[in-house]
Amino acid sequence: MAISYAANIRPLFRDKDVSSMKNFGGFDLSAYQDVADNADDILARLRKGDMPCDHRWPPADVQLFADWMAQGKQP
């Protein structure tokens, strides 16, 4: 299954996640290039469970993000 940012990854980020990262993280989770450029850091934080700040992503969603990266971070 081909994984794309638009179809599979962007929907994982809630509006409040996008807003928080714009204000405190310095990048835009709703912008493909920002997520692609910061993917390693995002994945590390997802795996630690400190992103998003109010709950952990389910393991399947973290794996989907990792698989998206492994497949070349398609838009």
pLDDT of res. 24:
81
Question: If pLDDT is split at 50, 70 and 90, which confidence band does 1 have?
Answer: confident
Domain residue extents for the chain: 5-70
Please check the confidence at residue 67 and state whether its pLDDT lies above 80. yes
Tell me the whole-structure pTM to 2 decimals.
Answer: 0.92
Q: pLDDT (tens digit, 9 = 90+) per residue, 5-48?
A: 999 999 999 999 999 888 887 889 999 999 999 999 999 999 99
| Rounded-to-integer distance, Cα 25 and Cα 61, Å | 21
Backbone angles phi, psi at 4, to 5 degrees: -125, 155
SS (H, E, C) 26-59: CCCCCCHHHHHHCHHHHHHHHHHCCCCCCCCCCH
pLDDT of res. 52:
84
